[in-house]
Amino acid sequence: MFSYDKAIISAASKLKNMTTSKYSPNTELIKDIWQFIKPYKIRFFFGSVARIADSIIWLIPAWALAEMITFISQYQPGSDNSYAWNLMGIIAISAIMRVILSSLARFSIYFIAEKANIDAKKMTIKHMYSLNIDWHEKENTGNKIQKAHKGGEGLNTIIRTYINLFIPSLVQFVSIILILASLHISFAFILIFFFITYFLLSQKFTKKPVQQGNIANREWENFEGFSFESINNISIIKSLSIWKNAFSVLEASSKKLLQAICNRIYYYQIRNVLLSVYKEIFRIIILVFTIYNIFQQNLEIGSLAMVILYFGKIEKSSEDFSQIHYRFSAAKVALMRMKEILNTQPTIETSGHKTFDPNWKTLQMKNINFSYRGKKVLKDFSLTIKQGEKIGIVGISGTGKSTLFKLLLKLYNDYKGDIFFDNTSLHDIKRSSYIKHIAIVPQDTELFNLSLEDNISIVQSKKDKKLLEKSLKIAHIHDFAHKLPDGLDSLIGEKGIKLSGGEKQRVGIARAIYKNPEILLLDEATSHLDIQSEKKIQKALHDFFKNITAIVIAHRLSTIKEMDKIIVMDHGKVIESGSFDELMKQKGKFYTLWETQKF
Assign residue 201 the CATH number of its domain.
Answer: 1.20.1560.10
Q: Are residues 283 and 357 in the same domain?
A: no
Tell me, what's the pLDDT at 317? 85
Q: Are residues 310 and 353 in the same domain?
A: no
Q: pLDDT tier at 136 (50, 70, 90 boundaries)? A: confident
**Does 252 have pLDDT greater than 80?**
yes
Q: pLDDT tier at 25 (50, 70, 90 boundaries)? A: low
**Across the chain, how many H-helices and E-strands are there?**
21, 10
Q: Are residues 311 and 417 in the same domain?
A: no
Q: How many CA atoms lie within 13 A of 28 on its CB side?
A: 16
Q: pLDDT tier at 360 (50, 70, 90 boundaries)? A: very high
Share of the chain above pLDDT 70, in %: 95
Section 131-138 average pLDDT? 85
**Does 237 have pLDDT greater than 80?**
no
**Helices in 343-356 by DSSP H: which ranges?**
none
Q: Are residues 126 and 275 in the same domain?
A: yes
Q: Which residue has the higher pLDDT, 304 or 471?
A: 471
**Does 250 have pLDDT greater than 80?**
yes
Listed in sequence order, the residues at least 6 apart from 10 whose beta carbon sits closer than 8 Å to its beta carbon are 35
Residue 477 lies in a domain: no
Q: Which residue has the higher pLDDT, 421 or 236?
A: 421
Q: pLDDT tier at 599 (50, 70, 90 boundaries)? A: low
Average pLDDT of the residues of the chain = 86
C-alpha distances in angstroms, 324 versus 25, 194, 260, 304, 315? 16, 17, 22, 29, 14
Torsion of Cα atoms, 185 then 187 then 193 then 197, to 10°? -170
Do 435 and 476 form a contact (C-beta atoms < 8 A)? no
Query: What 3-state class would DSSP assign to 16?
Result: helix
C-alpha distances in angstroms, 425 versus 401, 520, 594? 21, 19, 36
CATH number of the domain to which 591 belongs: 3.40.50.300
Report d(CA 194, CA 311) in Å as an integer: 10
Q: Which residue has the higher pLDDT, 141 or 291?
A: 291
| Biggest CA pair distance of the chain | 127
Each residue's pLDDT tens digit, 503-526: 999 999 999 999 999 999 999 888
Residue 491 lies in a domain: no
Residue 379 lies in a domain: yes
Listed in sequence order, the residues at least 6 apart from 368 whose beta carbon sits closer than 8 Å to its beta carbon are 378, 380, 381, 382, 404, 407, 415, 416, 417, 418, 419
Tell me, what's the pLDDT at 264? 85
Residue 204 lies in a domain: yes
Section 559-568 average pLDDT? 91
Q: Are residues 430 and 333 in the same domain?
A: no
Q: Residue 24: name the closest of 425, 332, 450, 406 by CA.
A: 332
Q: Are residues 211 and 353 in the same domain?
A: no
Q: Are residues 286 and 352 in the same domain?
A: no
Among the three residues 342, 362, 392, which one is the final residue of a domain in this structure? 342
Report d(CA 185, CA 163) in Å as an integer: 30
**Does 166 have pLDDT greater than 50?**
yes
Tell me, what's the pLDDT at 3? 40
Section 481-509 average pLDDT? 90
Each residue's pLDDT tens digit, 292-321: 888 888 888 888 888 888 888 888 888 888
Residue 249 lies in a domain: no
Number of CB atoms found within 10 A of residue 288's CB: 10
Among the three residues 314, 342, 370, which one is the final residue of a domain in this structure? 342
Report d(CA 192, CA 245) in Å as an integer: 59
Q: Residue 325: name the closest of 216, 203, 211, 209 by CA.
A: 203
Among the three residues 313, 342, 371, which one is the final residue of a domain in this structure? 342
Each residue's pLDDT tens digit, 167-176: 999 998 899 8
Q: Are residues 566 and 429 in the same domain?
A: yes
Q: Are residues 131 and 13 in the same domain?
A: yes
Residue 527 lies in a domain: no
Range of the domain at 205: 5-215+270-342
The DSSP element (H or E) to which 502 belongs, if any, is helix 501-514
Q: Are residues 302 and 360 in the same domain?
A: no
Q: What's this model's pTM, rounded to 2 decimal places?
A: 0.73
Tell me, what's the pLDDT at 443? 86
**Does 21 have pLDDT greater than 50?**
no
Residue 206 lies in a domain: yes
Q: Residue 431: name the closest of 12, 122, 140, 133 by CA.
A: 133
The domain tally of the chain equals 2
Strands of 338-484 (E only): list them: 362-372, 375-386, 390-394, 416-421, 424-425, 438-441
Residue 112 lies in a domain: yes
Report d(CA 169, CA 322) in Å as an integer: 11
Each residue's pLDDT tens digit, 216-225: 878 887 888 7
Q: Are residues 308 and 379 in the same domain?
A: no
Q: pLDDT tier at 549 (50, 70, 90 boundaries)? A: very high
Pairing between strand 565-570 and 549-553? unpaired
Q: What is the CA radius of gyration of the chain?
A: 35
Share of the chain above pLDDT 90, in %: 40
Lowest mean pLDDT among 23-37, 309-323, 388-402, 536-550: 23-37
C-alpha distances in angstroms, 169 versus 99, 210, 213, 305, 317? 17, 22, 25, 20, 4
Q: pLDDT tier at 23 (50, 70, 90 boundaries)? A: very low
Report d(CA 323, CA 199) in Å as an integer: 10
Q: Are residues 334 and 417 in the same domain?
A: no
